[in-house]
């Protein structure tokens, strides 16, 4: 069992939001990365020492706007973030002008069993077995975890995303399930993972049940995920963010595809 300290900082894009950061080292350079189970791949900040390395271009995934994330890949001789260590790691380098934060993604997080204790600012790697019986864990093509969320009589598969400050609900799903989502404000401009502008309306997600655990009403953002979903084999209706994840302890055995959740 190995414990990693997490640092919680305000989300610059959401006055009431939070980001979870972890320390890491790439070729001896200390960096801070967003703990991001919603990202398939780890990315590094645009530092001169890293930008001077040989690069190759690759087309990446898509943001909520549907805009493609093109990536410049570099190879670092050694990468370390707690027990997540790699030699000769090929990793994406963010553009110098990118508003997106660098992230620790599922290419590394997915290699271990992890217990997420966000409110305690701790990530426990290779933890003890959870008190509750684990449930089967489904994952997206990029390795991102999916959990079933029940709101009243409605059930949907949600992306479990520690990189999202707020839970994100697709606009079409919110309209189809008015008992689940209540609008609070008119839409305003936000940004997706590519830095592209997206319209986002602050709303409330009703009480929901995940596993055998009930979560109270929480803030969410209603966003049109249509452009993104048009490119996906399995459309996304809900992205479960820290506004819900931060309320509980989550045991995620990624290699064995099992999970469990509990609240104090």
Query: Which domains, and CATH codes, for the chain?
Result: 2-109 (2.40.70.10), 132-262 (2.40.70.10)
Chain segment 79-115, per-residue pLDDT in tens: 999 999 999 999 999 988 888 899 999 999 999 999 9
**Closest residue by Cα to residue 242 from 218, 225, 262:** 218
List beta partners, residue 79.
Answer: 26, 86
Residue 67 has pLDDT above 80, yes or no: no
Closest CA to 114 of 2, 31, 210: 2
pLDDT tops 70 at residue 61: no
Query: What share of the chain has pLDDT > 70, as a percent?
Result: 91
pLDDT of residue 59: 56
d(CA 224, CA 170): 5
Dump pLDDT digits (tens) for 175-219. Answer: 999 999 998 876 666 666 555 667 788 899 999 999 999 999 999
Do the beta carbons of residue 73 and residue 125 sit within 8 Å?
no
Q: Regarding beta strands 84-93 and 122-125, do their DSSP bridges make them parallel or antiparallel, or are they unpaired?
A: unpaired
CA distance 69 to 46: 15
């Amino acid at each position: 069992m190995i414990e990693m300290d997490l640092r919680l900082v305000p989300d610059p894009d959401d006055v009431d939001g939070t980001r979870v950061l972890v320390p890491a080292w790439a070729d001896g350079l200390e960096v801070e990365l967003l703990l991001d189970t919603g990202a398939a791949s780890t990315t590094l900040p645009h530092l001169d020492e890293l930008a001077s390395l040989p690069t190759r271009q690759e087309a990446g995934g898509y943001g909520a706007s549907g805009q493609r994330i093109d990536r410049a890949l570099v190879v670092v001789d050694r990468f370390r973030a707690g027990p997540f260590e790699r030699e000769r790691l090929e990793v994406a380098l963010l553009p110098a002008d990118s508003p997106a934060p660098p992230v620790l993604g599922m290419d590394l997080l997915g290699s271990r069993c992890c217990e997420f204790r966000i409110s305690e600012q701790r990530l426990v790697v290779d933890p003890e077995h959870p008190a509750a019986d684990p449930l089967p864990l489904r994952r997206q093509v990029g390795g991102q975890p999916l959990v079933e969320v029940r709101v009243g009589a409605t059930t949907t598969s949600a992306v479990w995303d520690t990189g999202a400050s707020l839970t994100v609900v697709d606009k079409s799903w919110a309209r189809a399930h008015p008992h689940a989502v209540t609008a609070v404000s008119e839409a305003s401009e936000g940004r997706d993972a590519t830095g592209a502008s997206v319209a986002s309306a602050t709303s409330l997600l009703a009480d929901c049940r995940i596993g055998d655990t009930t979560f109270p009403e929480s803030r969410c953002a209603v966003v049109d995920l249509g452009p993104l979903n048009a490119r996906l084999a399995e459309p996304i209706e809900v992205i479960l963010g820290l506004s819900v994840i931060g309320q509980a302890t989550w045991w995620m055995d990624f290699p064995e595809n099992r999970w469990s959740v509990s609240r104090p």
